[in-house]
C-alpha cells in the first residue's frame, strides 16, 4: 500500500511539473535580469552595455539547454528540420542586430548604437528562448 501511494505521488508530481519548463526558465532567469536591471539603472553607459551583453549570454545558455531538450524529444526526421530552423534563426538574428546597429548609428550616433543594438539582440534572444520553452512544454504535453 505504501509503495502504491509513493508511486502515485511521484506520478502526480511529474504530471504537475510537466509542461512548466517556461515557468521554471523565467524563474531561473529572474536573478540575472535583476542584476542587469541594477546595471541599467546605474546610468553608466559601459555598465549598461555590459549588462545587456551578459544577460544575453545567460539567455543564450538557456537557449542551448532547451534546444538540446527539444532535439531529444523529436523524431530523427523532425530533428534535421528543427536544426535547420534554428540555424536560420541564428543567421537572421545577426542580420537583424546588424541592421539595428546601422540604423541606430545613423539616428543616435555610434556611442548609443552599441547599447541599443545590444538591447535589440537581448530581446531577440529572449523571445526565441521563450518560444523554444513553449515548444518544449508542448512536446511534453503531447506525450
- On whether residue 91 sits in a domain, the answer given is yes
- On whether residue 126 sits in a domain, the answer given is yes
The CA-based diameter of the chain, rounded to the nearest angstrom, is 72
Provide, rounded to the nearest whole percent, the portion of the chain with pLDDT above 70.
85
pLDDT band of 114, cuts 50, 70, 90: confident
Q: Which cell numbers hold the place of 106?
A: 545613423
**Any idea how long the chain is?**
143
Domain count within the chain? 1
Q: Which cell numbers hold the place of 76?
A: 530523427
**pLDDT at position 86 over 80:** yes
- On whether residue 15 sits in a domain, the answer given is no
Question: What backbone torsions phi and psi does residue 20 show, to the nearest 5 degrees?
Answer: -110, 20
- On whether residue 14 sits in a domain, the answer given is no
pLDDT number for residue 111: 83
- On whether residue 1 sits in a domain, the answer given is no
pLDDT number for residue 2: 46
| pTM for the structure as a whole | 0.81
54: domain range? 20-142
**pLDDT at position 72 over 70:** yes
Q: What pLDDT digit, counting tens, does each position of 15-66 carry?
A: 344 459 999 999 999 999 999 999 999 988 888 888 998 999 999 999 999 9
Amino acid at each position: 500500500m505504501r509503495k502504491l501511494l509513493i508511486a502515485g505521488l511521484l506520478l502526480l508530481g511529474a504530471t504537475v511539473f510537466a509542461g512548466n519548463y517556461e515557468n521554471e526558465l523565467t524563474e531561473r532567469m529572474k536573478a540575472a535580469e535583476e542584476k542587469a536591471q541594477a546595471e541599467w539603472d546605474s546610468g553608466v553607459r559601459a555598465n549598461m552595455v555590459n549588462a545587456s551583453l551578459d544577460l544575453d549570454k545567460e539567455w543564450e545558455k538557456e537557449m542551448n539547454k532547451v534546444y538540446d531538450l527539444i532535439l531529444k524529444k523529436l523524431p530523427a526526421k523532425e530533428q534535421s528540420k528543427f536544426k535547420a530552423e534554428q540555424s536560420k534563426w541564428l543567421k537572421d538574428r545577426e542580420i537583424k542586430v546588424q541592421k539595428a546597429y546601422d540604423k541606430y548609428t545613423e539616428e543616435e550616433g555610434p556611442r548609443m548604437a552599441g547599447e541599443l543594438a545590444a538591447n535589440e539582440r537581448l530581446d531577440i534572444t529572449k523571445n526565441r528562448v521563450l518560444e523554444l520553452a513553449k515548444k518544449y512544454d508542448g512536446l511534453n504535453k503531447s506525450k
